Chain A
Amino acid sequence: KQEVTQIPAALSVPEGENLVLNCSFTDSAIYNLQWFRQDPGKGLTSLLLIQSSQREQTSGRLNASLDKSSGRSTLYIAASQPGDSATYLCAPNNNAGNMLTFGGGTRLMVKP
Chain B
Amino acid sequence: NAGVTQTPKFQVLKTGQSMTLQCAQDMNHNSMYWYRQDPGMGLRLIYYSASEGTTDKGEVPNGYNVSRLNKREFSLRLESAAPSQTSVYFCASGYNLGTEQFFGPGTRLTVL
Whole-angstrom distance between the alpha carbons of A36 and B43 in the complex? 12
Q: How far is the CA of A58 from the CA of B82 in the complex (A)?
A: 43
The reply to whether A98 and B97 form a contact with Cβ atoms under 8 Å apart is yes
Residues of chain B within 8 A of A97, CB atoms compared: 97-99
> Which A residues are in CB contact (< 8 Å) with B40?
104
Q: Are B100 and A42 in contact (CB under 8 A)?
A: no
> Chain A interface residue count: which class?
20 to 34
Is A102 an interface position by the 8 A CB rule? yes
Inter-chain residue pair count (beta carbon < 8 A): 53
Contact partners of B48 in chain A: CB under 8 A? 98-99
Name A21-68 residues within 8 Å CB distance of B.
31-32, 34, 36, 42-46, 49
- Interface presence of B53 (CB below 8 A): no
**Chain B residues with CB under 8 A of A36:** 103
Asked if A46 and B101 make an inter-chain contact with CB atoms under 8 angstroms apart, the answer reads yes
With a cutoff of 8 Å between Cβ atoms, the chain A residues found around residue B102 in the complex are 46
A105–B97 CB distance below 8 A: no
User: Can you list 23 contacts pairing A with B, beta carbon distance less than 8 Å?
Assistant: A4-B42, A34-B101, A43-B90, A43-B104, A43-B105, A44-B43, A45-B103, A46-B100, A46-B101, A89-B42, A89-B43, A93-B98, A96-B97, A96-B98, A97-B99, A98-B48, A98-B98, A99-B48, A99-B59, A100-B45, A102-B43, A104-B42, A105-B42
Q: Which 10 A-B pairs have the closest CB atoms?
A: A97-B98, A44-B103, A102-B43, A102-B42, A43-B103, A97-B97, A43-B105, A49-B100, A31-B98, A98-B97
